[in-house]
Amino acid sequence: MPIPYTKLVIEHFKNPHNVGEIPDADVKVTEGSPACGDMITLYLKIDPETQRIVDVKFKSYGCASNIATASIITDLVKGKTVEEAKKITWKDAAEALGGLPPVKVHCSVLAADALHSAVELYLEKNGLIKENEPTTVDKVYERLSHVMNPETGIDVVKSKIVKSVVVDSGIVEITLNIPKTSQFADNIKEEIEERLQYLWDIREVRILFKE
């Protein structure tokens, strides 16, 4: 039996809005992975004076629900301030699409997660986070769960290449269970640094590889 998508979902799936990249984006994040079935990369361009999102683009891999949700979320956030964008949820996106089949609701969460991660990263990069909670090992693992291992298509925590995490005196030291010569080592290192280096109480991120 076909999944009963609304006409608006089908329209956004067939003709998604704001698809592409922003070469000079202020922030770029990727959520999900091909191994899980859905992935989205979101780009935001933000006016530093007004804190308004002046441009937004996305690239996505996944089902109709995932692509349609990403499309409508980019419509919803354009022109909003980052504080207003933080409040947009997957429920807002689903409602704007006229509803989603219950079996596909989880697919709509990915685009909302990408939006929230992008806003959070922008605020951290610009020192605009108001609630400064100390960085803990658990928080580092949570951030690492958003870094994909290209070799497996799932995140670096689930793919079990994170051997240890130590947080001490503003330094995060992460030991990875892959050699520095791995073809994906530089990419993974760069993504980890991007996720952690702007935390308010972190002054250095050290990535160590297996000898």
Domain boundary among 68, 101, 126: 126
The per-residue pLDDT for range 32-50, each reduced to its tens digit, is 876 667 889 999 999 999 9
2: pLDDT confidence band, cut at 50, 70 and 90? low
Contact 101, 3 (CB under 8 A): yes
Q: Any long-range contacts for 120-126 (C-beta under 8 Å, 24+ apart)?
A: 121/27, 121/29, 121/194, 121/195, 121/198, 122/26, 122/27, 122/44, 122/46, 122/82, 123/82, 124/198, 124/199, 124/200, 125/26, 125/27, 125/198, 126/48
Contact 202, 166 (CB under 8 A): no
Question: What pLDDT, on the 0 to 100 scale, is given for residue 63?
Answer: 85
- The average pLDDT across 75-93 equals 95
**158: domain CATH number?**
3.30.300.130
Ranges of beta strands (E only) in 151-210 are 154-155, 162-168, 171-179, 204-210
Return the amino acid letter for 126.
Answer: N
Beta-bridged to residue 208, according to DSSP, are: 175
Please determine, for residue 71, whether its predicted confidence score (pLDDT) is greater than 80.
yes
d(CA 134, CA 123): 16
Whether residue 132 is contained in a domain is answered as no
Please determine, for residue 105, whether its predicted confidence score (pLDDT) is greater than 80.
no
Please determine, for residue 141, whether its predicted confidence score (pLDDT) is greater than 70.
yes
Residues carrying an active site annotation: 36, 107
Count of domains forming the chain = 2
Do both 49 and 115 map to the same domain? yes
Chain centroid offset of residue 110 CA = 8
Q: Which of 62, 65, 113 is nearest to 86 (CA)?
A: 113
Do both 86 and 157 map to the same domain? no
Question: What pLDDT, on the 0 to 100 scale, is given for residue 3?
Answer: 63
Return the amino acid letter for 125.
Answer: K
Identify the helix (H) or strand (E) that includes residue 11: helix 7-14
Length of the chain measured in residues: 211
Question: What pLDDT, on the 0 to 100 scale, is given for residue 65?
Answer: 86
CA quadruple 79, 90, 29, 60: dihedral, nearest 10 = -100
Least confident of 9-23, 96-110, 112-126: 96-110
Do both 142 and 72 map to the same domain? no
Domain that holds residue 201: 137-209
Maximum mean pLDDT: which of 76-80, 102-106, 183-187: 76-80
**101: domain CATH number?**
3.90.1010.10
